[in-house]
């Protein structure tokens, strides 16, 4: 069905608002809430409009990045109700990778063709205030050309608090140490009344916004995210996107927007019924609406709307590339956070799998770097453009699983005791050895 045919099947305010978006008018809060309730023919028209705007704003390339996640610890001083990844310091499943092991994994990723390493983790009890800075320095010494995409605003807040400096000063230290960009996670929904329900003690909305603005002012670009499908209202998520749009107009510092479906299976707030009116993640139609709405609301200023294949699976991700999205994210290699929450789509996607999913959506696959500079456009046959990661078989012992890592005695987290300098002892590297995850 063509765009005109889709619009012809919709009457009244929805059609007028969609036509306004196609004409370049900014989508306001009221129209966005209207779109977020679209079903039937209205949803068909919303998808078609988003697909047309994706083509106008981002062209016909579907992009991906070859990267590796290093979630170096699951030990955390907080216990967010939606998080199934974190473990308390006394848990037998709490782990901590030392600097040597983190660097080894980064170098291994580079040797397998990765251009980016993404580092995010729990907020480890007793952590050295200089650990994040030291990690950046160590990775850059070993792999100077590898892009370091690391530390959410929550982690920046934690590090700055330990160091007793301002957010800006801490960001300056990270940048000087080699940090290239920041993930815009820990956002969930930027509404403190909701944050108090799903994650008491989590970074506040004003702090999250302050940190990303400071990062952008220093030339550190960030991503942006939204976790949805839990206890938020339609108005709350629309206002979340509007806040991000306001920051982007001001700074231009966001590289992309990534909607993240809530994975409920192992989430504490689901398993223990901690939050009233909690949903079990978004419906399939809801996922399509959110991605399409993101294109309409954010596309004019963001350009890049990313699908999380970890959350949705590659087949659904391919469909969402026709609902306004233009990017499939990264190969990841060691995805732990969604996997621990119950997502069943694996911890790694080979580049050829991403290229095939992009081509199935009718787009031309293209490898990008973290800043969305195109590195290579597919020849047209995804199978002929081979990468080292394409040759890695499932079950490769170099990568293992999150469960294996959490059981590995070499990386068992142990909070330093009072008999020694605690923060320094935690920051010291464990014996390197060969990894199982």
DSSP per residue, 181-217: EE---S-SSS-HHHHHHHSTTPPPHHHHHHHHHHHHH
Q: What's the pLDDT band for 430 if we cut at 50, 70, 90? A: very low
**How much is the pLDDT for 346?**
63
Query: Considering only CA atoms, which of 302, 304, 298, 282 is closest in space to residue 240?
Result: 298
Q: What residues does each domain of the chain span?
A: 3-54, 60-427
Q: What's the pLDDT band for 384 if we cut at 50, 70, 90? A: confident
> Helix (H, G, I), strand (E, B), or coil: what is residue 327?
strand
Euclidean distance between CA atoms 305 and 284, whole angstroms: 18
Select 60-427's CATH number: 3.40.605.10, 3.40.50.300, 3.20.20.70, 1.10.10.10. Answer: 3.20.20.70
b/e code 153-189 from CB counts within 10 Å (16+ = b):
bbbbbbbbebbeeebbebbbbbbebbbbbbbbbbbbb
Q: What's the pLDDT band for 394 if we cut at 50, 70, 90? A: low
- Are 358 and 62 in contact, with CB atoms under 8 Å apart? yes
Backbone angles phi, psi at 389, to 5 degrees: -70, -20
**How much is the pLDDT for 345?**
61
| H or E stretch covering 37 | none
DSSP code per residue over 72-137: -B-B-S---TT-SS-B-TT-TT-BB--HHHHHHHHHHHHHTT-SEEEE-----TT--TTHHHHHHH
- E strands present in 240-363: 254-261, 327-330
Of 82-91, 253-262, 305-314, minimum mean pLDDT range:
82-91
Euclidean distance between CA atoms 118 and 97, whole angstroms: 15
User: Which tokens in the block code for residue 15?
Assistant: 């059609």
Instruction: Tell me whether strands 374-377 and 364-368 are parallel, antiparallel or unpaired.
Output: antiparallel
Say yes or no to pLDDT of 415 above 70: no
**How much is the pLDDT for 419?**
33
Give the single-character DSSP code of 323: T
User: What are the Cα distances from residue 10, in Å, to 28, 42, 55, 181, 344?
Assistant: 19, 6, 22, 42, 37
Q: What's the pTM?
A: 0.92
Angle between the N-to-C axes of helices 167-177 and 131-142, in degrees from 0 to 180, rounded to the nearest 10: 20
**How much is the pLDDT for 342?**
65
Say yes or no to pLDDT of 235 above 90: yes
Percent of the chain beyond pLDDT 90?
Answer: 76
Euclidean distance between CA atoms 236 and 291, whole angstroms: 16
Say yes or no to pLDDT of 313 above 50: yes
Average pLDDT over residues 384-399: 74
Query: Considering only CA atoms, which of 94, 151, 92, 163 is closest in space to residue 118?
Result: 151
Percent of the chain beyond pLDDT 70?
Answer: 91
Say yes or no to pLDDT of 341 above 70: no
Q: pLDDT (tens digit, 9 = 90+) per residue, 16-39?
A: 999 999 999 999 999 999 999 999
Residue with tokens 């789509």: 345
Q: pLDDT (tens digit, 9 = 90+) per residue, 141-183?
A: 999 999 999 999 999 999 999 999 999 999 999 999 999 999 9
Q: What's the pLDDT band for 363 if we cut at 50, 70, 90? A: very high
Mean residue pLDDT of the chain comes to 90
**How much is the pLDDT for 424?**
43
Euclidean distance between CA atoms 369 and 145, whole angstroms: 12
Say yes or no to pLDDT of 10 above 80: yes
Euclidean distance between CA atoms 124 and 105, whole angstroms: 20
Euclidean distance between CA atoms 3 and 48, whole angstroms: 6
């Amino acid at each position: 069905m063509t765009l005109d045919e889709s619009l012809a099947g919709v009457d009244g305010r929805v059609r007028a608002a969609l036509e306004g978006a196609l004409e370049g008018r900014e989508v306001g809060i009221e129209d966005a809430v209207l779109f977020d309730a679209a079903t039937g023919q209205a949803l068909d028209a919303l998808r078609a409009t988003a697909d047309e705007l994706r083509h106008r704003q981002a062209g016909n390339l579907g992009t991906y990045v070859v990267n590796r996640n290093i979630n170096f610890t699951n030990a955390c001083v907080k216990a967010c109700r939606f998080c199934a990844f974190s473990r308390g310091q006394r848990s037998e499943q709490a782990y901590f990778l030392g600097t040597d092991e983190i660097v080894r994994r980064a170098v291994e990723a580079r040797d397998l063709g990765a251009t980016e390493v993404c580092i995010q983790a729990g907020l480890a009890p007793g952590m050295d205030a200089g650990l994040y800075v030291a990690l950046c320095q160590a990775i850059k010494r070993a792999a100077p050309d590898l892009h370091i995409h690391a530390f959410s605003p929550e982690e920046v807040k934690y590090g700055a608090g330990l160091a007793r400096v301002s957010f800006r000063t801490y960001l300056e230290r990270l940048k000087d140490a080699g940090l290239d960009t920041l993930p815009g996670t820990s956002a969930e929904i930027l509404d403190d009344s909701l944050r108090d329900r799903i994650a008491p003690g989590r970074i506040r909305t004003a702090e999250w916004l302050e940190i990303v603005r400071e990062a952008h002012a220093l030339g550190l670009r960030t991503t942006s995210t939204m976790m949805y499908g839990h206890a938020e209202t339609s108005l709350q998520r629309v206002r979340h996107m509007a806040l991000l749009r306001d920051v982007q107009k001001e700074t231009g510092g966001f590289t992309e927007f990534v909607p993240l479906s809530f994975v409920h299976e192992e989430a504490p707030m689901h398993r223990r019924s901690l939050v009233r009116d909690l949903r079990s993640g978004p419906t399939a139609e809801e996922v399509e609406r959110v991605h399409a709405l993101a294109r309409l609301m954010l596309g004019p200023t963001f350009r890049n709307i990313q699908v999380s294949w970890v959350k949705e699976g590659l087949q659904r991700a391919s469909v969402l590339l026709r609902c306004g999205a233009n990017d499939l994210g990264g190969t990841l290699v060691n995805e732990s956070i969604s996997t621990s929450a119950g997502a069943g789509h694996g911890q790694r996607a080979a580049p050829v799998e991403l290229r095939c999913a992009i081509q199935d959506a009718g787009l031309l696959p293209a490898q990008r770097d973290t800043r969305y500079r195109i590195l290579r456009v597919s020849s047209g046959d995804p199978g002929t453009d081979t990468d080292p990661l394409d040759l890695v078989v499932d079950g490769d012992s170099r990568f293992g699983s999150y469960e294996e890592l959490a059981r590995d005695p070499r990386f068992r987290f142990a909070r330093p005791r009072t008999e020694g300098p605690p923060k320094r002892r935690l920051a010291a590297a464990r014996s390197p050895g060969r990894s199982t995850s």
